[in-house]
Amino acid sequence: MSLSPLAIFGGTPVCREAWPSPNTIGKEEKKAVLEVLDSGVLSQFLGAPGPDFLGGTRVRQLEMEWAEHFGTKHALSFNSLTSGLQACIGAAGIEPGDEVIVPPLTMSASATCVITYGGVPVFADVDPRTLCLDPVSVEEKITDRTRAIVVVHLFGHPADMDGLMAVARRHGLMVIEDAAQAPGAMYGDRPVGTIGELGGFSLNYHKTIQSGEGGVIVTNDDDLAQRLSLIRNHGEMVVESLEVENLANTFGGNLRMTEIEAAIALEQLRKLEVSTRPRIDLASYLDERIVRFHGIEPQGLSAPEGSSHVYYFYAMFYDEEEIGLPRSLFAEAVRAEGIHLREWYAPPVYWAPMYRDQVAFGKSGFPFVSEYTDREFSYERGICPVAEEAYEQNLIFGKFCHWPLTTEHMDQVVEAMDKVLAHRDDLLTVEQGG
């Protein structure tokens, strides 16, 4: 334990050198990109009947290997997971007035995808230790207009899929998994993203598998796969040639992935185990050292037995009363020691003005207020108290666990926390103006 002055008071910080940033782009990706450039074919999609309706060589290779890797019948690439989630909502048949249950702690697209087709997001609360959807809260929010559930595996932690799938089966609901932060995570013997009817993965530049932008949707349902392909690529131009009978939601856009993105993503997919193993190992090392701080509990300790967390973020629950320091003051002091500790994620999605004022399409209130729904929707503070408490009081986290970091960097995290807690009285004195 260090008793040197805190960095926040002018002392020497624990971490005196910037941590190395992750860069998983290597010679394999560079070679693949050059091959695409040399071919002159940067995209091969056509929004017209024919083989190129499904994209070019690299896109199809990525989709084939992705489906094989995750053990699904189909994988379809998109220009982003946001687009992919919107396509999932369309493929699921959501229409104006339908309700879809979504989590409050997530990136906004996990909920706005519902609005794309005139559906209404209904927020259920999260489990206090996983921060993923709580099946009990989900069941409480179901009405006769509920059609689907969007499940997010937050920070790489698997949601309670047994509980959520049981709720969905009882009520005949479709389950869409948002595994943007969780490629490689397992729920029992199944990869997350493959348990519901539809599952999505992000290839955004800061995700585990990245190609700058992009997304992949997986499914075992032939009809859903076809509908996804139609929504992705101007489906209104090909439905007749494909003899599609149900035209609802099959008009499409340009949600297509380029050959360069696919080439990069394919090489990244082949490195998935190499990318996730260091995260898990470093987190396990850090868990063993964090648990001795009474009042700080790692999120990963809540993972179901036999399942795996892949640590997009390393999250912890902070008990201000037990620690004896305000969360914001603790986090500020740890950051001053050179450790990038954050005390909040995104605020609950329903705090955004769009939900508060119920203004999305035009000014009429659609889809929250329309001829298609006969009830009022509330997005007031307090509707998801567990999520709000996590955001406001007891969540701290950071991107501590990734290659090329080492156990020495994890030791710095622990040393910084030790140092701050050893000077707790000094911090409180200054805060109170003493």
Distances from the Cα of 176 to the Cα of 105, 111, 428, angstroms: 16, 12, 46
Sort 326 into a burial class: Cβ within 10 Å, 0-12 / 13-18 / 19+. Answer: middle
* Domain coordinates in residue numbering, the chain: 27-271
pLDDT at 2 over 50: no
Nearest to 235 by CA among 216, 248, 222, 221: 248
DSSP H or E stretch at residue 265: helix 259-270
- CA dist., res. 252 & res. 233, Å (int): 5
Q: Which pLDDT band, with edges at 50, 70 and 90, does 14 fall under?
A: very high
Write down the mean pLDDT value for the chain. 96
Nearest to 16 by CA among 30, 27, 2, 37: 2
pLDDT at 433 over 90: no
pLDDT at 91 over 80: yes
Q: Are strands 198-202 and 174-178 parallel, antiparallel or unpaired?
A: parallel
The answer to whether the beta carbons of residues 398 and 275 sit under 8 Å apart is no
Fold classification of 27-271 is Aspartate Aminotransferase; domain 2 (3.40.640)
Q: What is the pLDDT of residues 337-368, one digit of tens each?
A: 999 999 989 999 999 999 999 999 999 999 99
Q: Which pLDDT band, with edges at 50, 70 and 90, does 3 fall under?
A: low
pLDDT at 128 over 50: yes
pLDDT at 291 over 60: yes
% of the chain exceeding 90 in pLDDT = 95
Residue type for 196, please? G
Q: What is the pLDDT of residues 243-260, one digit of tens each?
A: 999 999 999 999 999 999
Q: Which pLDDT band, with edges at 50, 70 and 90, does 279 fall under?
A: very high
The answer to whether the beta carbons of residues 215 and 188 sit under 8 Å apart is no
